[in-house]
Structure 1
């Protein structure tokens, strides 16, 4: 059987041509990176956990009417997703101060923000994904004003959903980032949540202890990243049985 055509390989995922036109197979790797890939390791089982957790969140969003690119999970490491044009922005929603906003504004980490704050970064690894304003986005044509209104609405709906889901299992959603895709249906364009939603893209703290259950465990050498992600999956009731060892992508018929 011929190997499927690789479309793109990123830090945490590889994309392959899907079995049907307009589809993509998204393969979750075990690679962990931080500080714009200056720190790198391979964490056994990380891709399996992110795949299953992202499926859980994407399905939940679909159930409340938030459109996503997710179609179905194929196996322990792969998802079938809708092909879309990625808006070249990372959309960041912050509920508590942490990471770069604490450094930029001198706010103590863990401080609850007056309201959810939405920020945008231009997706360019070579530039370090710089923070940009809506003025930059409009001037350079990355998204229209209508797109920005829709993106803001989507981001806040995702925040409401995720905050509730995590709080119900004793986890505080500090912040998260999402990517937005454009899906074209004839002349009609629709914006959808794309990429993934997982502990790789969220900051998650235990409500009582403040224990970090996200990629900061890797960034700051705080222990086992697999244990942290497994705890999130266990609390949400989606812990996989006997996660497989890292391997090559499974070909999909």
Structure 2
């Protein structure tokens, strides 16, 4: 297999059969040693984070598969910290799509004049460009269309999938009395039929979850949930 991309939290290899292998790392995003799913830098390394992230990802991707929701997932090997996926092309240089249920993090930093911390939000969907140099700027539906990154029809599919998947994760966590505050997804188009599918991962490293008003660290989330 050939190394195609070295990422912050995982490396991507191309396999001989045309599929891809994601190797999960123990690195998580954050700043100054504090975890932050919205950060665009590696903030710290947590032993076991890669395996924990993959275990949650495997659980959620298989749950989505059972519900007929399209993803790039094929299978996962927890011991090797690897996930095999179908090839998919990202939008532009990559988008991050956040589904928000409570006002925290960057949402609160931007809209604090109007929003209160922890205020309930109705599955608010926010799209940002993956652009470290410009600190992942938010982008609107119109701008995505005008810049040729995503058509308006594709945006609607993206938004609907984000809310549908976010609600699946939210409902699953609620079974353990865990509340989802926000979650970050990535999507792509499949090589074969250009279908929009969920890619990357669903783990504690890309969500904020709370229990009894207390924030749950990514490693603790995996232990509490699984």
Q: What is the match of residue 60 of structure 2?
A: 57
Q: TM-score, normalised on structure 2?
A: 0.90
In the alignment, which residue of structure 2 is the partner of 1:43? 46
Q: Secondary structure at the match of 2:204?
A: coil
> C-alpha separation between the residues in 1 aligned to 2:75 and 2:46?
24
Which stretches in structure 1 are left out of the alignment for 5+ residues? Answer: 214-227, 238-253
Task: State the distance in 2 between where 1:103 and 1:230 align.
Answer: 26
Please list every run of 5 or more consecutive structure 2 residues that lacks an aligned counterpart in the other structure: 32-38
Provide the C-alpha distance between the structure 2 equivalents of 1:6 and 1:126, rounded to a whole number of angstroms.
24
Match of 1:71 among 69, 74, 86: 74
In the aligned structure 1, how far is the partner of 2:21 from the partner of 2:177?
Answer: 33
Equivalent residue for 1:14? Answer: 11
The match for 1:229 among 214, 218, 226 is: 218
Q: 1:132 is paired with a residue of what secondary structure?
A: coil
Q: Flag the 1:145–1:236 CA change in 2: closer, same or farther, 3 A.
A: same
Aligned residue for 2:34?
none
Q: CA deviation at 1:19?
A: 3.9
Give the structure 2 partner of residue 223 of structure 1. none
For 2:57 and 2:180, how far apart are their aligned partners in 1?
15
Counterpart position of 2:119: 111
> What is the RMSD computed on CA atoms of the aligned residues?
1.5
1:152 is the counterpart of 2:149: no
Residue 36 (structure 2) aligns with: none
Aligned in 2, Cα 1:91/1:25: closer, same or farther, shift over 3 Å?
same
More off after superposition, 189-198 vs 27-36: 27-36
- Deviation of 1:65 after TM superposition, in Å, equals 1.1
Q: For the residues of structure 1 that align with 2:160 and 2:130, how far apart are their CA atoms?
A: 20
Q: Does residue 170 of structure 1 match 2:173?
A: no
Separation in structure 1 between the aligned mates of residue 99 and residue 78 of structure 2, nearest angstrom: 30
How much has 1:108 moved relative to structure 2?
A: 2.2
1:95: which partner in 2? 101
How does 1:188-203 map onto structure 2 within 5 Å? 188-203=193-208
* Alpha-carbon distance, 1:117 to partner: 0.8
When Rg is computed on C-alpha atoms for both structures, the one with the higher figure is 1
Count of paired positions? 214
Taking structure 1 as the reference length, the TM-score comes to: 0.80
1:40 and 1:149 map into 2 onto residues whose CA distance is 33
Q: String of CA shifts for 1:174-230, please: whole Å, max 9, x gaps.
A: 011101010032xx3201000111111111011x2x1211xxxxxxxxxxxxxx334
**C-alpha deviation, 1:97, in angstroms:** 0.4
